[in-house]
Structure 1
Amino acid sequence: MSLLSWNCRGLGNSHIVNALKEVIRIEKPKIFFLMETKSNRDWMEKIRDRCGFKHGLIVPSMGNSGGLALFWKDEIQVNVIKYSMCNIDAEVNSGDGYGWSHLTGFYGNPDTSRRTESWNLLKYLSGLSQFPWLVIGDFNEIVGLSEKEGGADRPTQQMQNFIDTLNCYGLHDLGFTGPKFTWLYQKVDGSQIRERLDRVVATVEWTIKFPQAKLFHKSSSSSDHNPLVLQLVKEKIIPKHPKIFWFEAMWLKDSSCEEVVTSAWDEGLFMGS
């Protein structure tokens, strides 16, 4: 089972919609979380249908700003607990024997002066469920200068506030495979700023429940953010059984049978018990 998260920066044109459909076709997520849809409810319901999903929760944009959506397949049980312009919080059962978990699709406030509101929101959400907790989305913050390339340095205290919040609620980074940065800003002078703003964090209890979980940063030219694909469980590989050797009685009629069997035995081609 996989989960997709993407700050798509608007779904108002066919190019980005087709890009979303292509990611879903390739990755086959059972749940996906979208941020900055910049779309109303009617349009997002059409997007949901085009992507082959029947269930979901939509937080419409306010004019040309914001907008969230969480969509899921039939076999997934979802109880939505709380939602706002910055989060969709739910309890989820994937139906494959792993039971219930606490899932938060999160969008950190892009306004630096209001970043504390985002961390207070995480504090509030942490108490909404007793199940193991996973938070995925665009936090609009980094934990160190190694997660940034280009532009002015991030204030140390600003990053430390984010780190302290994660530590306070037992959330740790799951790591990733793929491009190092998830966000790109192209400046008018041709220079670029790259940062790792999108991530997945979880409690120890969640990682114990899903020990094989692995996050992938996927590339995309349709948004300034890369999609995140979280594989929760590796696909089971069914071992190939060796072909059964059947001895045909008719072979005994062949005069060379004894010679062939003796030669094969000497070369170790037959396994004894």
Structure 2
Amino acid sequence: MEYVRDQCEFKNGLLVPSDGASGGLALFWRKEVTVHIQNYTSSHIDAFVDGGVDGWWHLTCFYGNPKTSRRCESWSLLKSLSTYSQLPWLVIGDFNKLVGLSEKEGGASRSASQMARFQEVIDVCGLKDLGFIGPQFTWLYQKFDGTQIRERLDRALATSNWLSKFPTAKLYHLSSSASDHCPLALHFVRKQKKRRYHKPFKFESMWLKNDKCEEVVRRAWEEGLLRGSAFPLNSCLESCRVCLDDWNKNDFRHVGRQIVRLQKALERSELQPTSPLIIVEI
């Protein structure tokens, strides 16, 4: 997790160790953000966040107990945290519970009383669901017979004063091929459309695994030197850029574009009801 923190350039954080191969929580934040950790367990991290001109607010990262017999412990914890402060409050995470059958596809039916209990706790805590943008379900289980179970176990809940403080906040369900849960991305402001700029050159690490790479660079460098430029280094680098780009298009067929295409195809598949055809596509 420290590697993930460093890669995301988060300088501060709290890591709650896992119990063997299960559990484990982490909350990381950038150095310019002020976060005061209040308390934590293996099921939650509770903190106050300085929102700058928006003032302080209350954040809880939550993990509902996966065992039905111990789910009441999670709801007792949530209700206890709701009395901790009067600050605008956001709770986000994996609650391991549904509020209705519309949040489930495939598998055995969930207990109506347990779903009602979860909704009751949400109401008692004064929380409202932020809704979401993206695939309907956040968790997928692939059974041995090829069928799937999909459920919305992950969500963000907030009090009315938090929603008033951040009226443009949007929760996105992202696609993932590396986990049975999809990542949640909470944007506090509407994303602005990016301006189209000329794409900068990017050296792909996968090129180094190809035996042709060294030869492409050697020939490009020689071509750069033969141009007789007053700035030979710039000339060689530009020659390498052009030759590597052409080689990438011819030999790898725009791998970056293929990744984007496959990612979009995955997102489209996740939006569709479960069927043998969709399972094959995923």
Q: Aligned to 1:65, what secondary structure does the other structure show?
A: coil
Give per-residue Cα distances to partners, 1:89-138, cap 9 Å, x unaligned.
0000133x211100000000000111000000001111222210000000
* Among 104, 122, 126, the residue aligned to 2:78: 122
1:164 maps to amino acid: E
Aligned to 1:166: 122
**1:178-193 → structure 2 map (5 Å cutoff):** 178-193=134-149
Aligned-pair Cα RMSD in Å: 1.3
1:107 is the counterpart of 2:63: yes
**1:83-94 → structure 2 map (5 Å cutoff):** 83-94=40-51
Aligned to 1:48: 5
| Residue 158 to residue 123, structure 1, CA distance change in 2 (3 Å) | same
* Among 58, 77, 85, the residue aligned to 2:34: 77
Aligned to 1:63: 20
Contact 1:81 1:128 in 2 (8 A): no
* Among 131, 140, 151, the residue aligned to 1:175: 131
Give per-residue Cα distances to partners, 1:169-203, cap 9 Å, x unaligned.
11110111100000000001110000000000000
Query: Deviation of residue 228 (structure 1)?
Result: 0.6
Kindly indicate which of the two structures has a greater share of residues assigned to strand: 1
Q: Distance in 2 between matches of 1:235 and 1:67?
A: 31
Q: Aligned to 1:117, what secondary structure does the other structure show?
A: helix
Query: Deviation of residue 48 (structure 1)?
Result: 1.4
Q: Distance in 2 between matches of 1:197 and 1:104?
A: 16
Aligned length: 193
Give unpaired runs (5+ residues) of structure 2.
194-282
2:166 maps to amino acid: F
Tell which deviates more after alignment, 49-58 or 152-161. 49-58
Q: Distance in 2 between matches of 1:46 and 1:216?
A: 24
Give per-residue Cα distances to partners, 1:121-168, cap 9 Å, x unaligned.
001111222210000000000000000000010010010000000000
Q: Aligned to 2:54, what secondary structure does the other structure show?
A: coil
**1:181-220 → structure 2 map (5 Å cutoff):** 181-220=137-176
Identity of aligned residues (%): 63
Kindly indicate which of the two structures has a greater share of residues assigned to helix: 2
Aligned to 2:97: 141
Contact 1:87 1:107 in 2 (8 A): yes
Q: TM-score, normalised by structure 2?
A: 0.67
Q: Distance in 2 between matches of 1:50 and 1:218?
A: 19
Contact 1:185 1:224 in 2 (8 A): yes
Whose radius of gyration is greater, 1 or 2? 1
Aligned to 1:30: none
Query: Deviation of residue 69 (structure 1)?
Result: 0.2
Contact 1:147 1:181 in 2 (8 A): yes
Q: Distance in 1 between matches of 2:134 and 2:154?
A: 13
